[in-house]
Amino acid sequence: MSDDPRYGTGRSVTLPGPLRLDGGGLLSPLDIGYETYGTLAPDGGNAILVCHALTGDQHVASTHPRTGKPGWWARMVGPGKPIDTDRYFVVCSNVLGSCLGSSGPATVNPATGKPWGMGFPVITIRDMVRAQAMLLDHLGVGKLFAVVGGSMGGMQALSWAATFPERVASAVVIASAARHSAQNIAFHEVGRQAVMADPKWRGGDYYADNDPPAAGLAVARMAAHITYLSEAGLTAKFGRKLQSRPEKPDGAKTFGFDADFQVESYLRHQGLAFVDRFDANSYLYITRALDYFDLAEEHGGLLASAFRGSGARFCVVSFDTDWLYPTSESRTIVHALNAAGARASFVELRSPFGHDAFLLESPELDRVVRGFLEAGTA
């Protein structure tokens, strides 16, 4: 373990910036919550940036301070794991716009002394990546050995390779896409409207009395959560089973609107658990950043152009039951990589768990990630 206060879990830093944003304007200063694991090699050549998904955080392999749960990718990142912290220096930072230590709508606007709320600038995936680059500068990391991410994390990995080709040696893009589809945007709009329809949202200015639009955010989470699962997975887990009650252990219809079905109860629980750990305005901003993401558009409409300057190796993985970012989206990325002459690997793995599969036990995914990374160390 290093004595350097920049390294370790539960870190945060305020960088002077300024960060020039895609939407125009500058952000300065810039707070970033982050964690590092392992030891940076003297030549700096063993750094891996792990990028988190929409509602993820920097606690990739450490206990979450609010929920007490293990890190969200503890089965992938750690000593002896595929992303082996005995060998690699792993960095994971809370994305710009989020609410776990990085600048976002819930942090204080230095110009007013009050939380930004909806005054926070609308940000993009590339803005998140540029903020991460500033963090890596601070940490003394030049070129990344690898950038790895699933879902929105995969979009950051793609954006990294396109924005900083000289700083990325390899990229792992799991269950992701090079752009948000109309269906993706549509689901996000349902979530945003649920938040904004909650009277407690109050135009995003709800921080003062600590009374956030929890009901709206819970509904947004419930709708989104369905898209993370597969129909077959839901059927296997819940089917039409009814919720057990004290007087009816096997459950019974109430002929009312309680959570009769187990799947209803499960979704309500998911919604309520989410509002304890996430800020409603952050949810609006990050879903917006995802909807704006279209890597081809940033490169003259041709996705292959995004990768022309890149000498990186790419590993693209999809899951057969993921209907949020289906295999066809990954194939689009792979076609572009081939057209650009990039070194690309791609595999569609089988899983019953839909989009969430990338977070769950998957020996095949472990083997692919481990082997792909090891090939870069030779």
- Give binding residues for substrate as ranges: 221, 356
81 contacts other proteins (rule: CB under 8 A):
no
Angle value at C-alpha 231, between 358 and 176, nearest 5 degrees: 30
Instruction: For other proteins, give the closer residue by CB, 237 or 335.
Output: 335
Instruction: For other proteins, give the closer residue by CB, 169 or 194.
Output: 169
Instruction: For other proteins, give the closer residue by CB, 277 or 335.
Output: 335
315 contacts other proteins (rule: CB under 8 A):
yes
157: its two tokens? 């990995």
275: its two tokens? 């509002």
**Packed helices 182-197 and 214-228: angle between N→C axes, nearest 10 degrees:** 160
What DSSP assignment string belongs to 18-56?
Answer: PEEPTTSSEE-SEEEEEEEES---TTSTTEEEEE--TT-
Interacting span for other proteins (CB under 8 A) from 195-203, 252-260, 294-302, 333-341:
333-341
User: Catalytic: 84?
Assistant: no
Q: Considering only residues 64, 75, 225, 335, which one is a binding residue for other proteins as defined by CB under 8 A?
A: 335
Distance CA 217, CA 6 (A): 34
99: its two tokens? 């609410």
Max Cα distance, the chain (Å): 67
Cβ proximity of 354 and 230 under 8 Å: yes
Interacting span for other proteins (CB under 8 A) from 55-63, 112-120, 269-277, 339-347:
339-347
Taking the complex as a whole, the smallest distance from the CB of residue 295 to other proteins amounts, in Å, to 18
One of 98, 151, 170, 310 is an active-site residue; which one? 151
Taking the complex as a whole, the smallest distance from the CB of residue 173 to other proteins amounts, in Å, to 13
Cβ proximity of 372 and 343 under 8 Å: no
Instruction: For other proteins, give the closer residue by CB, 129 or 168.
Output: 168
Site for other proteins in 340-369 (CB under 8 A): 341, 343-350, 364, 367-368
Distance CA 256, CA 242 (A): 13
312 contacts other proteins (rule: CB under 8 A):
no
User: Catalytic: 330?
Assistant: no
308 contacts other proteins (rule: CB under 8 A):
no
Instruction: For other proteins, give the closer residue by CB, 6 or 370.
Output: 370
Buried b (16+ CB within 10 A) or exposed e, 79-97: eebbbbbebbbbbbbbbbb
334 contacts other proteins (rule: CB under 8 A):
yes
Instruction: For other proteins, give the closer residue by CB, 143 or 343.
Output: 343
Sign of CA dihedral 338, 340, 341, 346: negative
Taking the complex as a whole, the smallest distance from the CB of residue 348 to other proteins amounts, in Å, to 6
Taking the complex as a whole, the smallest distance from the CB of residue 346 to other proteins amounts, in Å, to 4
133: left (phi over 0), alpha (psi -120 to 50) or beta: alpha
Residue ranges at the known binding site: 221, 356
Counting other chains too, the contacts that 362-367 makes at CB distance below 8 Å and 24 or more residues apart are 365/76, 365/174, 365/317, 366/76, 366/81, 366/82, 367/82
One of 260, 322, 330, 362 is an active-site residue; which one? 322
Q: Considering only residues 292, 338, 355, 357, which one is a binding residue for other proteins as defined by CB under 8 A?
A: 338
User: Catalytic: 322?
Assistant: yes
Q: Which residues bind other proteins (CB under 8 A)?
A: 313, 315, 331, 334-335, 338-339, 341, 343-350, 364, 367-368, 370-372, 374-376, 378
Active site residues: 151, 322, 355
